[in-house]
Amino acid sequence: MKHLLKLLDCTPEEITSILDLADQLKYERKHHISHRLLEGKSIGLIFQKSSTRTRVSFETGMFQLGGQALFLSSRDLQIGRGEPVQDTARVLSRYLDGIMIRTYEQKEVEDLAKYGSIPIINGLTDFCHPCQVLADLMTIREKYGVLKGLKMCYIGDGNNMANSLIVGGLKSDMQVSIATPDNYRPAKEVLDFAAGNDAFTLVNDPIKAVENADVVITDTWTSMGQEEEKKIRQQAFQGYQINDELMAAAKPGAMVMHCLPAYRGQEITEKIFEEHASEIFEEAENRLHAQKAVMVTLMK
């Protein structure tokens, strides 16, 4: 495993290995065991999209591993002024031991890996969000002890989260159920990957999708860069809210997760969010541990 560009590139064994290492690193951190596995290493963090969890978790994680993280805003880099990504990749490869990039186009991440000579980590693109879904899988496994055979249901926009949940869930032998409006379906590449897999269902009806689910997941209806579509999207996603009626169709005690930020009263009610806040913020914390595992796997 040279990079983390998208979960489609990962084998099930690679996903499991990252989750196992994340569990170990979390245990050691909780028990004050030092794990400075990346002593003397540096990672560059390129942000073309703003972030709370991604920036803080990567910077903190690299510090805990004994290395150095450099925040590289696109406003400060020449890439933000039109320098070709291949030139940026070649230059940074001579200074750094790894790059995390949070951006819009998946091609930009792929090009960094193509032209650079160091590990590239996808911190989010419009196509996928592998780091978040690794943290999600880690959180689910912490609660249930296993992933295989569990039903994971995602309700809402067929966005980068939906894409990565489908791939990560199916590669972990989970049942994956997705409910989206017709005009907001997951990416064709992901649906082609899932085609013919009896463990995958895609429907319009959220109640049908959530039946007997062990885990219910949602995301904001309007992602970064889609602000002009906000009113249209709010209308399109009426009926796709995580609320008491929806949760009544899931298994008793089902988990609820949200990658945050959450807009209470839209994709999830205040009541459901607060009832499952411990799970949601454990999921947020696990970004730290899962990403540390990714960095160690790629950079050690």
pLDDT on residue 74: 73
183 and 115 belong to one structural domain = no
Report angle CA 279, 282, 285 to the nearest 5 degrees.
155
- Which domain does 218 fall in, by range? 131-283
Residue-wise pLDDT tens digits, 233-255: 999 999 999 999 999 999 999 99
Q: Is 287 a catalytic residue?
A: yes
Q: What is the mean pLDDT of each run of 10 residues along the chain (300 residues)?
A: 98 98 97 95 94 96 98 78 86 98 96 97 98 98 98 98 98 98 97 98 98 98 79 94 98 98 96 98 98 98
Q: Which two tokens stand for residue 109?
A: 């991440």
92 and 105 belong to one structural domain = yes
149 and 213 belong to one structural domain = yes
Is residue 45 a known part of a binding site? no
Does this model's pTM top 0.75? My answer is yes
Using DSSP's 3-state secondary structure scheme, residue 286 falls into helix
pLDDT on residue 228: 78
CA distance 230 to 234: 6
**CB-based contact 296:65 (threshold 8 Å):** yes
Backbone φ and ψ for 238, nearest 5 degrees, come out as -60, 130
37 and 109 belong to one structural domain = yes
CA distance 214 to 228: 34
272 and 292 belong to one structural domain = no
5 and 46 belong to one structural domain = yes
Is residue 224 a known part of a binding site? yes
Number of domains in the chain: 2
117 and 157 belong to one structural domain = no
| 96: CATH | 3.40.50.1370
Q: Is 31 a catalytic residue?
A: no
95 and 185 belong to one structural domain = no
Is residue 219 a known part of a binding site? yes
196 and 174 belong to one structural domain = yes
Is residue 130 a known part of a binding site? yes
Residue-wise pLDDT tens digits, 87-119: 999 999 999 999 999 999 999 999 999 999 999
Q: Is 81 a catalytic residue?
A: no
277 and 292 belong to one structural domain = no
Q: Is 10 a catalytic residue?
A: no
Is residue 84 a known part of a binding site? no
121 and 75 belong to one structural domain = yes
Q: Catalytic pick from 102, 233, 258, 276?
A: 102
pLDDT on residue 85: 86
Q: Catalytic pick from 132, 175, 241, 266?
A: 132
201 and 275 belong to one structural domain = yes
Using DSSP's 3-state secondary structure scheme, residue 171 falls into helix
CA distance 159 to 180: 10
